[in-house]
Homo-oligomer: A and B are copies of this chain.
Amino acid sequence: MEANVVVEGGSSNSWLALVDSIVKIRSKVAEFPGKMKKVAEDDPRRIVHSFKVGLAITLVSLFYYFDHLYVGFGSSAMWAVLTVIVVIEFSVGATLGKGLNRGLATFLAGTLGFGAHHLANLPGRELQPILLGIFVFILAATVSFIRFFPRMKVRYDYGLLIFMLTFCLISVSGYRDEEVLEMAQKRVSTILIGGFTAIFVCIFICPVWAGEDLHNLAANNLEKLASFLEGFGDEYFRKSSEPESNKASLQAYKSILNSKQSEESLVNFARWEPPHGPFRFRHPWKQYLKIGSLTRQCAYRIEALNGCLNSDVQASPETCRNFREAFIKASSETGKAVKGLASAMRTMTLPTGDCPQTAKSKNAADNLKSLLRTGLCEGIDIVEILEVATVASLLLDILACTEKISESIHELASLAHFKRLEPDEKDGNPDLDKQKQVWQSSNSIASNHHHHIITIE
């Protein structure tokens, strides 16, 4: 066999390329189970979702198997299967949004298409195709244009597409099929059946609430900020001879930088959802956008601060002695304050009165400021001043940011009626600890929903 491979220069090259690509494919196939395991471990709800999809489709295909169910709809029953596949999404909000969009758009377009069909019938058979063509052209162009409106795009894009689709199907195929009304009715009712099946399975079997995920995402992001701030001081003054500590956990904040898109889609989904768990009717979902935007602003500052970690110029031991304590104190106290905010978000309880952690972090900031006023410029090298001043100023900037975050969370708390707790009541409250466990969530919230934006027919 080996002799075959090396017979000739050219053919051996193509042979080698073939062997190479086979090896590549084999290694990809070998990696597949590992990847599958990773995707499932990132968020076990994905497995449940897959089974839910299978179940919903199997349920709705019963229409085909049972004669007395089939009789009513005939081959239109196909639309029910199609609707289930297209409408069912990972979260309840996304499924409801798509289902309602599809249902309403089909109904409206069915009515309009029926009207257009009758209108085109009036002048006689010869003019009918021309009139129908004009109607279809005008409607398709108009709806395509409306789909560019930012507001329509966010909430009703799918509805507009289905509107266009149903109108064209009903008015155009009405030219051939004389029973347009029956066709329109069948399409609407099969889509209703498919939509309800999808929504039923989505809500009543291990539901995934976009609102809950959004809430957890906001808390997770705050915790990522906090863990950077808590670890920053130690990492900054770590001597290069010491082993790298927890640099990976320090870099967790990077995912916040690009979180806008997934946050927006989660808010959009959450607004379709009925009240669930601690989220009542008219929960202030839009406030999460404000918190998220402030969190991102803080993360941009942290990104700049992170640049100082990697810069070549590092402070000398002498400078360290002066500023070490103040820097570590300021950043870790701010980190603790942010962690407190994150846990207040998670448990949806806010301590009454001023938070002691916030006071401590303000204190640390004041200390740092006064140290800068007195300690800088006293026999320190100018390059170091530059470095120290930048870190100090960014830290103070981040502190100002966290204060804004705290304000916006207090705003959310009053809008969403968070529980109020006396400060001493908080420690050792078994209910709260339990609730906190329930709220613990995986890191893959954003990626699930983010991906599902792209979902299609």
Contacts and interface: CB of A to CB of B under 8 A. Distances in A.
A138 B81 CA distance: 16
A228 to B, nearest CB: 14
A457 interface: yes
Contact of A456 (B136, B390, B457): B457
12 contacts: A58-B136, A61-B132, A70-B176, A85-B140, A86-B165, A86-B456, A301-B304, A372-B386, A376-B385, A377-B377, A385-B385, A387-B393
A427 to B, nearest CB: 37
A258 interface: yes
A389 B51 CA distance: 58
Contacts of A70: 176
Given A61-B133, A390-B393, 13 more contacts: A65-B129, A85-B161, A257-B296, A260-B261, A300-B300, A300-B303, A307-B397, A311-B397, A372-B382, A376-B385, A386-B392, A386-B393, A390-B394
A158 B58 contact: no
Nearest to A63: B172
Contacts of A51: 141
A1 interface: no
A457 B86 contact: yes
B173 A64 contact: yes
B50 A150 contact: no
A276 interface: no
A385 B394 contact: no
Given A149-B35, A260-B258, A386-B372, A177 B300 contact: no
A210 to B, nearest CB: 15
Interface residues of A, number: 91
A439 interface: no
A18 B279 CA distance: 29
A382 B373 contact: yes
Interface stretch (A359-367, A415-423, A447-455): A447-455
Contacts of A260: 258, 261
A39 B377 contact: no
A46 B145 contact: yes
B54 A157 contact: no
Given A49-B144, A157-B454, A176-B75, A61 B382 contact: no
A455 B301 contact: no
A57 B136 contact: yes
Nearest to A296: B257
A40 B141 CA distance: 13
A208 interface: no
A55 interface: yes
B389 A383 contact: no
Given A50-B142, A389-B385, A389-B393, A303 B297 contact: yes
Closest 4 CB pairs of A and B: A457-B457, A389-B389, A54-B141, A390-B393
A389 to B, nearest CB: 4
